[in-house]
Structures are given as C-alpha cells and as structure tokens.
Structure 1
Amino acid sequence: MLTNIELFSMQPIDVNPVVYQKGLSIKGQIKEGGNNIPCRVRLFNKLTGRIVRDITTDQHGNYEFDHLLHSIFFVVAHHPSSKFNAVIQDNVVPK
C-alpha cells in the first residue's frame, strides 16, 4: 500500500489505499497532501515490464484496473502537472 511517499523532498503524494477485490482487480485512490487528485495511472506486468493499462483517475483520484490475469504487477501514478516524479507500488497481485 502506498501512503505518504516523499518525492525528492517535495510535497508528499499519497496513494491511499490499494484495495484488492474479487474478480482479479486492483483499485485505489491518489492523494497529494491529503487531497484527492486526478492523475495518470499505469499498470505494468512485473515479469515482462510491459504496460498492461494506462488510465486517468476520476476527478476524486479513484482508479480501477479490472479483468486482470493472475500475475504480479506494479502501479505507477504520475503527478498531474509533472512537478514531481511518479510514485510506484511494486509487487501488486490482483485478487
């Protein structure tokens, strides 16, 4: 679960929380300084490094990757104005 990750001593971005659901999906919410923010979120296959999905959250920072195969992934959340580098959640397994 990504929470309160500092990006190069800049403002923290929270990814709160990564929640797993039945049906092999991964969902979560992106926050910066306690406020929900919309942004780009990408899902990669950990073993191949290939991008699986590239989505934009809703206005409240919510995202969901559904209909996933059982595998290991990593999730990358990009700051909406590119002021900071991305936040990464590694070794994510959908449930």
Structure 2
Amino acid sequence: MIGKGIVFRDSASRMAVITGVVMELGSPVIRQVRAYSRTNGALLESTYSNKDGKYKLYLPYDSSYTLVAVDSRKTFNAVIQDNVVPK
C-alpha cells in the first residue's frame, strides 16, 4: 500500500514534491514508485522507497498524477494512488 503522503507545491522551484511511505502487510518495504501524468499517461518520474518505505518524487508543478508502487518479486499486485494533486 502507498501510505498517506504529503503533496505540496514548491513555488521557488516550480515543482510538486510528493512524499510517502510504501507498506506491505503493515511493514515498510523497498519498492519502485512510479508517477504518471493523469493528462496523457506519460511516465514522469520513478524512484525507489528506502528501507523505511519512504520515497520522494519531484514532478511538474501544474498537473495531477497517478502513483504506482510495484512489487518486483510479483508476490503482490501493484498498488495505485490516483488523482494525486499538489496543494
């Protein structure tokens, strides 16, 4: 699961900053987290969560996003958080 994160706009850099935690059965895990544009489906950014499950993405300022956390071991389905909008 992609835990509740923080999404905000950094007006100085004109970037949206998205942070969160990836959990699996209640424990933090290292997983790839991808961000896609809701407008056209383009992959905007990809990163890995750290051992504490925490991740941070820097994305274009004026968009909404779909986040996908992927289990490379294929034990669990991907987890999706849709319509993520910076405030």
Q: TM-score, normalized by length of structure 2?
A: 0.84
Matched with 1:70 is 62
Tell me the amino acid that sits aligned with residue 21 of structure 1.
F
- Aligned positions of 1:1-95 closer than 5 A: 14-23=1-10, 24-95=16-87
RMSD (CA atoms): 1.4
Q: Contact conserved, 2:45 with 2:57, CA < 8 A, in 1?
A: yes
Tell me the amino acid that sits aligned with residue 63 of structure 1.
Y
Q: Contact conserved, 1:73 with 1:93, CA < 8 A, in 2?
A: yes
C-alpha distance in 2 between matches for 1:61 and 1:80:
15
Q: TM-score, normalized by length of structure 1?
A: 0.77
The 4+ residue runs of structure 1 with deviation greater than 4 A are none
Between structures 1 and 2, the one with greater strand share: 2
Tell me the amino acid that sits aligned with residue 4 of structure 2.
P
Between the aligned residues of both structures, percent identity stands at 29
**Quick check: 34-43 or 22-31, which moved more?**
22-31
List runs of 5+ in structure 2 lacking aligned partners.
Answer: 11-15
